[in-house]
Structure 1
Amino acid sequence: MNLSQALLAAAVGLPLLMLLLCASASVRRRLPSWFAIAALPALAAAVGASQSETLTLGHSGFALSFALDTPGALLLGTAALLWVFAGIYAARYVRGREDIDGFVVCWFMALTGSVGVFLAADLIGFYLMLAVLSVGASGLVLQGDGSEARYAGALYLGVALLAEAFVLGGLVLLAQATPHGSLLIRDAAAALPGSPTRDATLLLLLVGLGMKAGMVPLHFWMPHAYRAAPVPAAAVMSGAVVKASVIALVRFLPFAFNDAWPHFGIPFAVLGMFGAFYGVAIGITQSQPKVVLAYSSVSQMGFLVAVIGMGLAAGDPATVVAAAYYAAHHLLVKGTLFLAVGVVVLTGARSLRLVLLPTAVIALGLGGLPLTGGALAKYAAKDLLSGNLASVLAAASSAATTLLMLHFVRCLGAVATTDSNARAPGPLRGAWLAMVVVSLAVPWVLYLRIPVGSLPEALAPAALWSALWPVLVGAALAIGWSRWGKTVPSVPVGDVGGLLRGLQRGGAGAARIAVCTDAFVRGWSVSCLTLLLAALLFGGLLAVAA
């Protein structure tokens, strides 16, 4: 085993080892101090592992393969940074709590699955890691308080299992179409264009992975899950966990073969762009910062899906790196913003500006504020949205995102503690501040190291202006919304998902009726009378027949 293979093994192996150690109750109580350390091998693998090396575990009958490619390295490295600093936050969060066993187990389970999906090089390994990730993430949601956490966790797991059923169907069809029985993802993607079940395979994958990405209308799990989950859990879920769908889309879809598939790509892009505006439209009616961020994720993931859809329609190989870079920036920013929520809740008026100002800069980066990583991310994706209508919608999306992020900052300031001298504990502030620095600096470092665009072109006056004016429009809209938006009623959290509540209540009512009916029928006198009536009816029928 060479150095690259050792790094890949440690990236998956250390969090998996921590998960196995959770079997011991005495050890499990000490493991929060390993939350941050367990993600460090993944960061080392993203930086130091060669993309030409593959780690194979098992034998010819059953083996799991792990490898890195450019999008995998981008998402693994940024996810590892978030897991490290969110882990520091989480270790302080659980300190002094009595019941931390579930949180610890689910944290390491979600971390193992998150690292695994970015490294999985075969179909079986990817689906296995995706399942581990879903169970761990749903468990983290359950660590919140009250009945809302139980509902949100069950909803998250139910949607995840439904989505994975679609994904599994697509993976089975991929495996059947891959020659020589290969289960490697690269071989399956190469075989997809010539597969006799190509359209069915692509449809299953797009539906399943779109659901996991939070595409409208099956996005309603996001607001419930992110609101109910503890702050560090919501940070890694909104940042790292949801990006499993992105890495799957760019790996399984045949971008490398210059095949244009507009009959799938255009509808996928339309749904994504609709979600980009829908998330903003609902988000600005919310007042809870975590819910606003959840709808921001619906919007941002919708925009990312639109980018992938347009790339699929054009058969553009550049989509892979551009989408991964955009997703990496969103991963860092959204994780930072959720950590900011936890810090602000414990911060008083005297220190509040020191948190809100950098948070506002980070948040506006999602709208493409010039000289932020968000501006670079949007510039990297501009060629994929270069049509007249697409470019107009992209600019409008930037303005809408700016509106939503300024609304978030306003809502965030309203949840600060009433103790004006209060300050969040040092580890929480330190973890958040480290993520602020990472969110500002890492996108620039990545932009210089990957083939996603030219820095002089991104910093040209025309490019800076094209990034600035939608932000200015969004700021103007935010001023207007702060004055007149109060008259707009708040949409219930989960919006269309509220229909499920109605179905749940209706189902519960029908179940109670059925139980009462069953109990009544089982009564001795009723049973005897029913049997007597049945016997008389049967005798009457015999008499008529005779």
Structure 2
Amino acid sequence: MNVLLPLAALFPLALFALSAFSPWVRQRLARLLWLAPLPGLVAALFAIDGAVTLPGPLGLALDFPGAMLLGAAALIWLAAGIAAPAFWREKLETLPYQSWWLLTMTGSLAVFMAANLVTFYLTFSLVSLAGYGLVTRDGGAAAFRAGRVYFTLAVVGEAFLLTAFVLLAVGTPSGSMAIPDVVAALPASPSRDAALVFLILGLGSKMGLVPLHVWMPPTYSAAPFPAAAVLSGAAVKAGVIGLVRFLPFSAALPGWGEALAMVGFVSAFFGVAVGLTQRNPKAVLAYSSISQMGFIAAVAGMALAAGRLAAPSELAFYALHHVFAKGGLFLALAAIATTGPRHLRPILWPAIVVALGIAGLPLTGGALAKLAVKDALGSGLAGTLGSLSAAASTILMLHFITRARTIAASDDRAEAPLAIRGAWWIAAAAALLLPWLLFPSVAGSIGKVLEVKAIFDLAWPMVLGGVAFLGWSRLSRRPELPPGDVLIVLRPAATSVRGLTDRIARAEAWITTWPVAGTLLLLLAIGFAGAMVAAR
């Protein structure tokens, strides 16, 4: 079954190539995009513990944490691929958008199967750079501003990650670039501290950890709903799988673990605080993602401090739920925006349950995700902060629900196309049900979910958050910030480097024309694709 691994990454690239050179395929590709992630979904189910050595420096392997995230990412790409033609048909009929979509998908799926430093870096870069096209295809000024910030932080993050990988490779006595080998050598490496600094900076940039979060709110706000669904649900998890793969959980590193946990909790509470100042529900979800990625980083930090061997599966399980919940809520917004008040209830009520599930609503998939990482946080200060972050998430999700209603279609009789509603319901069902199937493999007996103490531990933060939201909602004057927060403060400083930004803008205009961008991304992908063809 190892052939499934290269096929999972190769199939979107094959459709990309066909769309570029075959008019017949290009005319029909918009209706076929949902098929591209299917091999990835199959690989997640049937190729666990598989490995493929590819020609040259590339390699693929799939373990249980990687399979969970690969399957989740493939399913949200499938759902978004169903919704996208109905929501944004005119854009999907053009070659560039189809290509950005497929190239981003390729990196987004393949990064979960990367077996060595080279493969991880190539796939991580592909999902980051190709994602630019999903953000800017609307062509408006806001989209290009968001795209510029996204592209800049992506390049900065990749530079950090490349530096980390060089240090990891140099510190491995065997000279191996296999991920297990470099991670095993990391605790004793003389360059350990420097490698961890650049590793956390590179992965933290992708995850949106504070202060490297500034790309996320404007990007998600500007991107069309289906693109925001895959960027928030799947693409950002490239950073999470990086933490899972490269942090040496087998060796307790208390100093580094506690530092990462501190950054994570700051991001978790910062995301909620600024998210409450947003009026656009897409921006609210963006700040919620900053908060949730911060929480994941905090869990990873505490697990690193304790040397917790179960951490990779626990982190991947929590991230799996976030794939479906956050990606699904963007699809819910797509349905709400095209639905009138008369038909809103079948869309809105599942959205309320999924949104509160992110905060840990008992018996939802989110509750299982919280319980799976509870032991990693412990019962001390980190555990208390984890509970308070759940209360804070409750406030933010209630705020999201109130803002989501405001974008409903003005026509009372309007009803979202079945493709959009169906895509949302697929994601909602996955968020609510799939964690129940996987929980025993990650955290033991499902019976602990039904214990009174577990339900109480999940419920009291939500009650606290609900009471706090009532007080917040009654304030006559509430602060408002545009998406991007820190960028707004720093914007005046940009006038001192106007010449540089003008040159960057001119270069960007040249790079992002399709003949140039397509060629550059094709060069990035072609070696990867060729190696996988040979491996098959």
2:54 maps to what in 1?
57
Residue 453 of structure 1 aligns with which residue?
444
Question: Which residues of 2 match residues 94-493 of structure 1 at below 5 A?
Answer: 94-97=88-91, 100-255=94-249, 257=250, 259-448=251-440, 450-484=441-475, 486-493=476-483
* Contact 2:256/2:305 (8 A) holds in 1: yes
Task: Supply the distance in 2 between the matched residues of 1:149 and 1:510 (Cα, whole angstroms).
Answer: 20
Shift of 1:285: 1.1
Distance 1:132 1:503 in 2: 31
| CA distance, structure 1, for counterparts of residue 59 and residue 500 of structure 2 | 49
The letter of the residue matching 1:147 is A
Q: In structure 1, what is the Cα distance between the partners aligned to 2:416 and 2:460?
A: 36
Per-residue Cα deviation, 1:131-153 (whole angstroms, up to 9, x for no partner) = 11111111111113411111111
**Counterpart position of 1:526:** none
Q: Look up the SS of the partner of 1:422 in the other structure.
A: coil
CA 1:195/1:364 → structure 2, altered by over 3 Å: closer, same or farther? same
Aligned to 2:507: none
**Equivalent position amino acid for 1:489 in 2:** P
How many residues align structurally? Answer: 501
d(CA) in 2 for partners of 1:95, 1:139: 16
| Contact 1:344 1:415 (C-alpha < 8 Å) held by counterparts | yes
> For 2:141 and 2:199, how far apart are their aligned partners in 1?
33
TM-score by length of 2: 0.91
The TM-score, its normalising length taken from structure 1, stands at 0.89
Q: Deviations over 1:223-257 (max 9, x none)?
A: 010011111110000010000011111111111x2
Per-residue deviation, 1:508: 2.5
Secondary structure, aligned partner of 1:63 = coil
Structure-2 separation of matches of 1:77 and 1:219: 26
Q: Which of 8, 13, 16 is matched with 2:13 structurally? A: 16
C-alpha offsets along residues 470-512 of structure 1, whole Å, 9 cap, x if unaligned? 111111222222211x412201211012244323334328999
What secondary structure is seen at the aligned counterpart in 2 of 1:438?
Answer: helix
Q: Please say if residues 269 and 309 of structure 1, whose CA atoms lie closer than 8 Å, have aligned partners that are also in contact.
A: yes
Code of the aligned partner of 1:382? K
Contact 1:221–1:497, Cα closer than 8 Å, also in 2: no
Aligned to 1:30: 28
Compute the displacement of 1:331 (Å). 0.9
Summarize the Cα distance change of 1:295–1:49 in structure 2 as closer, same or farther, 3 Å threshold: same
Give how far 1:455 is off: 1.2
For the residue of structure 1 that corresponds to 2:442, the secondary structure is: coil
Q: Secondary structure at the match of 2:58?
A: strand
Q: What's the CA shift string for 1:272-309, capped at 9, x where partnerless?
A: 10111111111111111100000000100011100001
The correspondence for 1:507, drawn from 497, 517, 529, is 497
For structure 2, which runs of at least 5 residues remain unmatched after alignment?
503-536
2:40 is the alignment partner of 1:42: yes
The amino acid across from 2:463 in the alignment is L
SS in 1 for 2:89: coil
Moved over 6 A (4+): 509-512
Q: Deviations over 1:27-84 (max 9, x none)?
A: 3332222211110000000000130x311221xxx23110101110110011111011
**Does residue 498 of structure 1 match 2:488?**
yes
Which SS does the other structure have where 1:55 is aligned? strand
Q: Distance in 1 between matches of 2:167 and 2:140?
A: 41
Tell which structure's C-alpha radius of gyration is larger. 1
Aligned match of 1:535 = none
Higher relative contact order (CA 8 A, sep 6+): 2
Q: Which runs of 5+ in 1 are unaligned?
A: 513-546
Instruction: Report the CA distance shift for 1:64/1:459 in structure 2 as closer, same or farther (over 3 A).
Output: same
Please give the root-mean-square deviation of Cα atoms over the aligned residues, in Å.
1.6
Q: Shift of residue 177 of structure 1?
A: 2.0
Amino acid at match of 2:340: G
Contact 2:372 2:442 survives alignment (8 Å)? no
User: How big is the shift at 1:97?
Assistant: 4.5
| 1:175-200 deviation line (CA, Å, top 9, x unaligned) | 12223321111111111112121111
Number of the residue aligned with 1:6 = 3
Cα distance in 1, alignment partners of residues 85 and 93 from structure 2: 13
